Structure 1
Amino acid sequence: MSSLLETPVARRTANSSIQLLLGRDLINEHIAREHAAVRKEVISAQPGHRTREDLAYSYDRDHGALKRGLPMRTLYHSSVRRVPTVGAWARNMSDAGAEIRTLNGRFPRSIVFDRRVAFVPAHRSDGDPSPDEAVMITDPYGVGRIVDVFDMFWERARPWYGGNGRDDKGLSTTGTQRAILRELCQGRTQAQAAKNLGIGSAWINEQLGQLRKKLGVQTLNEVIYWWATSPDQEEDD
């Protein structure tokens, strides 16, 4: 039996203002169409890693919108501050008028155009969202709720202009290390933490290794024990 994802499909639910998009080509087609039609504002929350190809694909489109004077707000996870390609993109976009912030924690992915149409992952009860599926929402109440959630995370995030953001205020941990420890203390594995934070498993291993060395301990259990009573965990990231 051939896979549904071999052919892009748009499937409408009983509510015509909610549309399931199957296939990356179809998802990108709808996003590009709405981006071209935007007149007021672009909002984007991107918690995962963006590749060089992703950035190149969106550069001309986003830069063109900024040249037209459109406000653009983009939210990233703070781990991207160490990625040179994303830093260069952030500098260029900031110079063109975009607002970019980073947050050291989990937040939902979304793209919203003119507070009129939103694209979000297709969440299911049987597993994580697939990158080959998305939901397009035009219901004004649904879009309004997505914007409200975005704004809550946006208010907690820190502005970023493309630098590496090394401002840890004399704490024993970096922002990325605190995010990793919070994930692990929620009972998640290192692989799950890496996926949730949009960073590689190798980077998590390196960060935990640096922290063990800094604390003078040998095991992850010792790190977790230290974290339980450390003032670092009170840091509001």
Structure 2
Amino acid sequence: MSAGTGLPDDLVRSALDELADLALLRPSEQGAGGLRAVSPEVGLAALLAAAEAEAAGRQRQLEATRAAIAAIAAEHDTGRTEDGSVRLEGIDAVRIRLEELSVGVCLEVASLNPGGAHRPDARQASGPLNQQILERGVAIRAVCRESFRNDPDTLAHARWLTGLGGQMRTVATVPMPLVIFDRRIAILPLDPDDSRAGAIEVRSPGVLAASCALFEQTWAAGTPFGQAALPDDNGCTPVERALLEIISSGHTDDTAARKLGLSLRTVRRMMSDLMERLDAQSRFQAGVNATKKGWL
């Protein structure tokens, strides 16, 4: 078989097998065990037709799977009200729904995150999903509290997210938890002070407009991650100004610490410094003097 080529038998057999796989060789009718060459145009056209048939089969399977998922989703949404809202009881139900919505998002995920440090287990759970979203070209904009910069785990998550193309800004206090998908669906907490209680999924245009406005207002006031928050004309940082606003509203140091995501010791140290700068003998007087001086 290989006498006329000067090539080893195993190399010739391998070449013939490859040509047969490409439909460029067929059995010859002129001799037992003989082969005949096939025109590349004919052989490769047959190969293309087989590939197209296989692709069509896969497409039919995908369409059947998509229809099955849609049917399951429709059955799962039996609790949806007339205005499209759904009550999600408990943190597990919220997380499951966030995962489902993340798969279908097309343009942007925008979120307000008043929570504390981003623990490694939470980062491990959300990381792959966020990466898939960004790799699909979907934008991620997140607002977090300024205090998160003091936590190494949360800083690591922020660097990772922004390194992939996500955007993050920080503010002294975040008004409430909020996640908006494509400006079409918003996830709002049932209890802003207890995110584990659950959430409500809303699609009402009015609620969505208010939610988007709240996010954009908070985003505009934020400091981009990687930049330092600059003090205002009175020398107050955003966190110091927020602390004055909280104390002036009659809240305690404990409440201020919780809202700012800071330790009680840090809040008291900051407040003592502010009282000295405002020449105040009490927290109440500090609030009054801050208003008179135009700090608030």
Q: TM-score, normalising length from structure 2?
A: 0.63
Cα deviation digits, residues 89-141 of structure 1 (max 9, x gap): 22222221112112234423210112222111114xxx945522211113344
Q: 1:140 to 1:50 in 2, by over 3 A?
A: farther
Q: Counterpart in 2 of 1:93?
A: 161
Cα deviation digits, residues 42-81 of structure 1 (max 9, x gap): 1111123233143343222212211222111111222323
1:33 and 2:88 matched: no
Q: In structure 1, list runs of 5 or more residues that go unmatched.
A: 1-9
The whole-number CA distance in structure 1 between the counterparts of 2:143 and 2:190 is 20
The whole-number CA distance in structure 2 between the counterparts of 1:95 and 1:77 is 19
The whole-number CA distance in structure 1 between the counterparts of 2:229 and 2:169 is 15
Pick from 139, 142, 145 the counterpart of residue 204 of structure 2: 139
Q: TM-score, normalising length from structure 1?
A: 0.77
Pick from 107, 115, 123 the counterpart of residue 48 of structure 1: 115
Counterpart AA for 2:223? R
The whole-number CA distance in structure 1 between the counterparts of 2:79 and 2:201 is 10
Calculate the aligned-residue CA RMSD, in Å.
2.9
The whole-number CA distance in structure 1 between the counterparts of 2:205 and 2:219 is 20
Question: What SS does the aligned partner of 1:115 have?
Answer: coil
Q: Counterpart in 2 of 1:152?
A: 217
Pick from 166, 179, 186 the counterpart of residue 242 of structure 2: 179
Q: Give 1:216 shift.
A: 7.5
Q: Which has the higher contact order (CA 8 A, sep 6+)?
A: 1
The whole-number CA distance in structure 2 between the counterparts of 1:202 and 1:119 is 34
The whole-number CA distance in structure 2 between the counterparts of 1:145 and 1:216 is 40
The whole-number CA distance in structure 2 between the counterparts of 1:44 and 1:106 is 10
Q: Give 1:34 shift.
A: 0.9
Which structure is larger by alpha-carbon Rg, 1 or 2? Answer: 2
Question: What SS does the aligned partner of 1:17 have?
Answer: coil
Cα deviation digits, residues 187-224 of structure 1 (max 9, x gap): 22222223333444343223224445666776535543
Counterpart AA for 1:31? L
Counterpart AA for 1:188? H
Q: Percent identity?
A: 23
The whole-number CA distance in structure 1 between the counterparts of 2:293 and 2:116 is 29
Q: Counterpart in 2 of 1:229?
A: 292
Q: Counterpart in 2 of 1:72?
A: 140
Q: 1:83 to 1:209 in 2, by over 3 A?
A: farther
Cα deviation digits, residues 144-171 of structure 1 (max 9, x gap): 332232122222222223x5x2532674
The whole-number CA distance in structure 1 between the counterparts of 2:128 and 2:93 is 20
The whole-number CA distance in structure 1 between the counterparts of 2:221 and 2:78 is 36
